[in-house]
């Protein structure tokens, strides 16, 4: 249906009953004949006007909707007359919870903490990642001293690594350290070196990628190199080793030094050079060679092959020069070892 048929008078709708418990709300409403035949999520948006269609789609996908006792999970199916029950979980707490999650601590004092973040751990809670993050772990480890530093939602966080990027991260434990570290990052007075394993190798073997980076106009979930707009992004790179035929390498180990730190910067920049990170599910368009695919499978790599290997900065409180370096974790190490045999 479209046009005027999409707008229904309020008096044909049942506002629905509401049952509340510690497990959340259970919304119950009878779907009238006037809504039958519409897409399920669209019809339910009229039944439950306080919920957006996107929220309804997510809840249906989680199996939280039933009609006359039958669970529905397909948002695109046609709605039919019946009694619909929708279970809405309680809202996530406004403040992250402290969780006992192991941390690999490289350095810690009263002002800051440096950790080697594993792949698979998000820096802070967000959509789709309500807990199990570095923030949750830090709140447990640091206790009340971290609460509220730099903001309630992301206490202590001054920079981020992608969830599936491993490596060195620093977090602030005091407001003074947070302000000082934030200034260092904003003025680019931080030494940040990443190691990437790429499909093919960027050419030339050493150079600087200097572009504007922003949201992709064709996919708002992705970042892209833009002709105009966005923010300036600068990556200095060097091919440390190439694997396969010298004139046409199948893969490479590339060191990337960040001058700026934009979202997905290295992943987008390497992809723009035709050498995306191996295993990158977002920017790794195109298949690697069969031998490289076999190496990825043998290594158990299930993420982008990118590791934050070095983080160096001047301690914002003591003035001490600090530098931390970690080797790539087992999946990347195993993959590189196999690639060296090509």
Q: Which residues participate in catalysis according to the annotation? A: 162
Cβ atoms within 10 Å of 233's Cβ, excluding its own: 25
Report the alpha-carbon distance of residue 181 to residue 261 in Å, rounded.
Answer: 14
Q: What is the bridge-based pairing of β-strands 105-108 and 82-88?
A: unpaired
Answer whether 327's CB lies under 8 Å from 333's CB.
yes
Cβ atoms within 10 Å of 301's Cβ, excluding its own: 19
DSSP 8-state assignment for residue 288 = P
Report the b/e string of 243-282 with b at 16+ CB within 10 A: bbeeeebbbbbbbbbbbebbebbbbbbbbbbebbbbbbeb
Question: Tokens 């950790």 identify what position?
Answer: 115
Report the alpha-carbon distance of residue 40 to residue 60 in Å, rounded.
Answer: 9
Helix (H) or strand (E) holding 335: helix 330-339
How would DSSP label each residue in 116-155? EEPTT--SS-BTTB-SSSHHHHHHHHHGGGGTTTT-SSST
Encoded tokens for 59: 């809840």
Across the strands, what pairs with 209?
235
């Amino acid at each position: 249906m479209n046009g005027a048929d999409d707008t229904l008078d309020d008096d044909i709708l049942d506002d629905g009953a509401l049952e509340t418990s510690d497990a959340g709300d259970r919304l119950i409403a009878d779907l009238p004949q006037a809504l039958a035949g519409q897409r399920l999520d669209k019809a339910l948006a009229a039944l439950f006007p306080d919920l957006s269609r996107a929220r309804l789609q997510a809840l249906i996908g989680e199996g939280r909707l039933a009609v006359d006792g039958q669970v529905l999970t397909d948002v695109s199916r046609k709605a039919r007359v019946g009694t619909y029950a929708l279970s809405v979980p309680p809202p996530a707490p406004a403040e992250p919870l402290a969780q006992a999650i192991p941390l690999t601590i490289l350095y810690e004092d009263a002002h800051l903490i440096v950790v080697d973040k594993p792949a698979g751990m998000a820096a802070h809670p967000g959509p789709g990642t309500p807990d199990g993050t570095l923030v949750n772990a830090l709140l447990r480890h640091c206790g009340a001293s971290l609460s509220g530093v730099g903001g309630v939602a992301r206490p202590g966080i001054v920079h981020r690594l992608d969830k599936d990027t491993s490596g060195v991260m620093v977090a602030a434990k005091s407001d003074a350290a947070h302000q000082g570290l934030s200034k260092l990052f904003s003025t680019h007075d931080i030494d940040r070196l990443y190691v990437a394993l790429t499909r093919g190798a960027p050419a030339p073997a050493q150079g600087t990628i200097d572009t504007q980076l922003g949201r992709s106009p064709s996919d708002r979930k992705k970042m892209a190199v833009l002709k105009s707009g966005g923010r300036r992004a600068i990556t200095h790179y060097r091919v440390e080793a190439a694997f396969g035929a010298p004139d046409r390498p199948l893969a490479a180990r590339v060191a990337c030094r960040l001058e700026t730190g934009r979202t997905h910067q290295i992943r987008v920049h390497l992809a723009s050079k035709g050498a995306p990170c191996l295993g990158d599910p977002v920017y790794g368009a195109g298949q690697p060679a069969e031998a490289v695919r076999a190496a990825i499978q043998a290594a158990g790599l299930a993420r982008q092959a990118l590791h934050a290997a070095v983080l160096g900065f001047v301690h914002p409180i003591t003035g001490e020069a600090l530098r931390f370096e970690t080797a790539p974790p087992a999946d990347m190490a195993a993959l590189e070892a196999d690639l060296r045999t090509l």
